[in-house]
Amino acid sequence: MVGTTPVNVPQPAAREFALTARDFDAIRSRVRGAAGIVLGDSKRDLVYGRLGKRLRARGCASFAEYVAFLDGPDGGDEQVELVNALTTNLTGFFREPHHFETLAKTILPALAEAPSRRLRIWSAACSSGEEPYTIAMVLHKAIPDLRGWDARILATDIDTDMIARSRAGLYDVSKAAAIPRDIARGRVIKADADTVEMSPALKDLIRFRPLNLLGPWPFRGMFDVIFCRNVVIYFDKDTQCRLFDRFAEVLPLGGWLFIGHSESLFRVSERFQHLGRTIYRKIR
């Protein structure tokens, strides 16, 4: 018999918290019910990684204890933290730049000719704020004198931590590198060697509000343009259909809708006309 040398195979490190299939199902059921986010089986490691901090904060020794805490009398506030932790917040200034080119060269010049001088843009799921600040920069450059306008940008997100960060308007210098220099001039202020701040003129245009897109919408009036990008990919088809129908209700005929690069309204809504590259207009 030929001898063999034992090989020391690295063993996976023991996890700090127990996460059973039952715990995982309970958590993803809560997230789907609260925010419409669908977490497949492949997201188990993501759930573990992002919620570990919440278990430590609540003094839970396992995910079963954490689920029990969510069901307890103090679980309401933690439900907000749960959704915050499991929300993906990937964004950037001038992300998908063709959308802002259409806004600057097509939409805003047409609206500037309207007699009402009223403009409403909604950045739905605004994350850490780069999208609404980009919209504000484009608006400022396209219509330099806004004193005679009733112009507002509504920026909402389900993640309350992101709303607080957006209101502050402070960003790493490296993120601001995506802003064209001619647009940044006078609108992006150097705070220190590593940080920039959005100007007061940009902040004054935007109203940041926490909002669950699947819950009530506590506002009145119509929007001229809605940005809802890279959000519905986390929803099931029925939820997508309901959401885009609600968007259609707050847009006038001809109102504009921008969605994410991997999203489509094909077999989701027939109330919009596809104009190419994830740009739509309401037709019915």
Give the span between the Cα atoms of 92 and 4, in whole angstroms. Answer: 55
- What is the rounded CA–CA span in Å between residue 222 and residue 250? 5
Q: Each residue of 30-49: pLDDT tens digit?
A: 999 989 999 999 999 999 99
- Residues with catalytic annotation? 50, 157
187 SS3 class: coil
- The DSSP result for 223-278, as a single string, is -SEEEE-S-GGGS-HHHHHHHHHHHHHTS-TT-EEEE-TT---TTT-SSEEEEETT
Question: Could you give the 3-state DSSP secondary structure of residue 3?
Answer: coil
Q: How confident is the model at residue 87 (pLDDT cuts 50, 70, 90)?
A: confident
Instruction: Indicate if the alpha-carbon torsion angle 38, 44, 45, 48 is positive or negative.
Output: positive
Q: Six-digit token pair at 263?
A: 């999203």
What is the model's pLDDT at position 144? 85
The more confidently predicted of residues 89 and 160 is 160
Cβ atoms of residues 235 and 212 within 8 Å: no
The answer to whether residue 261 scores a pLDDT higher than 70 is yes
Band the pLDDT of 74: cuts 50, 70, 90: confident
Using pLDDT thresholds of 50, 70 and 90, give the confidence band for residue 8: low
Least confident of 58-67, 83-92, 186-195: 83-92
Place of tokens 């112009």: 151
In contact, 252 and 243? CB cutoff 8 Å = no
Tally of CA atoms within 13 A in the half-sphere of 176 that contains its CB: 23
pLDDT of residue 273: 98
What pLDDT band is residue 10 in, cutting at 50, 70 and 90? very low
What is the percent of the chain where pLDDT is above 90? 85
3-state secondary structure of 15: coil
Q: Cα 247–248–253 angle (5° rounding)? A: 140
| pLDDT at site 5 | 42
Enter the tokens of residue 2.
């030929």
Q: Residue 256: its pLDDT value, please?
A: 98
Counting residues of the chain whose pLDDT is more than 70, the rounded percentage is: 95
Q: Which fold has domain 21-86?
A: Chemotaxis Receptor Methyltransferase Cher; domain 1 (1.10.155)
User: Once rounded to an integer, what is the mean pLDDT over residues 84-110?
Assistant: 93
For residue 4, what pLDDT is reported? 45
Q: What ranges do the domains of the chain cover?
A: 21-86, 97-282
Correct CATH for 97-282 of 3.40.50.150, 3.40.50.1820, 3.20.20.80, 1.10.1040.10: 3.40.50.150
- pLDDT band for 1, please (50, 70, 90 cuts): very low
Which residues have CB under 8 Å from 101's CB, separation 6+? none
Q: What is the C-alpha to C-alpha distance for residues 272 and 254, in angstroms, rounded to an integer? A: 9
Quick one: pLDDT at residue 25?
96
Q: What is the pLDDT of residue 6?
A: 47
**Pseudo-torsion of CA 173, 174, 177, 183, nearest 10°?**
-30
In this predicted structure, what is the pLDDT of residue 28? 95
Token digits of residue 256: 């504009």
User: Do 21-86 and 97-282 agree at the fold level?
Assistant: no
233, 84, 216, 219: which is closest to 163 by C-alpha? 84
Per-residue pLDDT tens over the stretch 129-178: 999 999 999 999 999 889 889 999 999 999 999 999 999 999 999 999 99
Pairing of strands 195-198, 170-172: antiparallel
Is the pLDDT at 191 greater than 80? The verdict is yes
Contact 79, 30 (CB under 8 A): yes
How far apart are the C-alpha atoms of 161 and 180, rounded to whole Å? 28
Residue type, 39: L
